[in-house]
Amino acid sequence: MPRLIFVNLPVADLPRSIAFYEAVGATRNPQFSDDTAACMVMSDTIHVMLLTHAKFSQFTAKKISDARTTCEVMIAVSADDREAVDAMVDKASTAGGALDPTPKQDYGFMYGRSFEDPDGHIWEVMWMDVAAAASAMQPQG
């Protein structure tokens, strides 16, 4: 069985966050959702747990940071091609996310953009042509 990742994110407004993640292509798993948390399925192996601040605080004694003013982590996900990168970022923008909070990356064989969700969490969406990247990284001479 492949390993799964569950990204736990504190959110200020759970319904708004659910709507945002549905807009960028995630589906809500009702089995692991209630009025304090929602399991948003990004793929077979990637799940985002949206937790109200009260629920998130049950798992840590640390203060919840404000992701709009501080950055602890940037979450990166892969895309099938350049068009899929742009499509996901555009969906995030349409759903109320901030567009490209980090610099766009375009190296020909690798392309990436980013967005912030309504709580300021940064997501990078990346595509890479693995074969082209391997030859680009080969030592010259």
Positive or negative: CA dihedral 50, 37, 63, 4:
negative
> Do 48 and 86 share a domain, yes or no?
no
Strand partners, 1: none
> Do 81 and 136 share a domain, yes or no?
yes
> Do 136 and 87 share a domain, yes or no?
yes
What pTM was computed for the model? 0.88
* Cα→Cα distances 77→6, 60, 80, 111, 120, Å: 13, 25, 10, 12, 17
Q: What are the tens digits of pLDDT across the range 46-78?
A: 999 999 999 999 999 999 999 999 998 999 999
> Do 141 and 86 share a domain, yes or no?
yes
> Do 71 and 58 share a domain, yes or no?
no
Over residues 88-104, the mean pLDDT reads 96
Geometric angle at alpha carbon 38, from 33 and 43, rounded to 5°: 105
> Do 79 and 126 share a domain, yes or no?
yes
Backbone angles phi, psi at 23, to 5 degrees: -65, -30
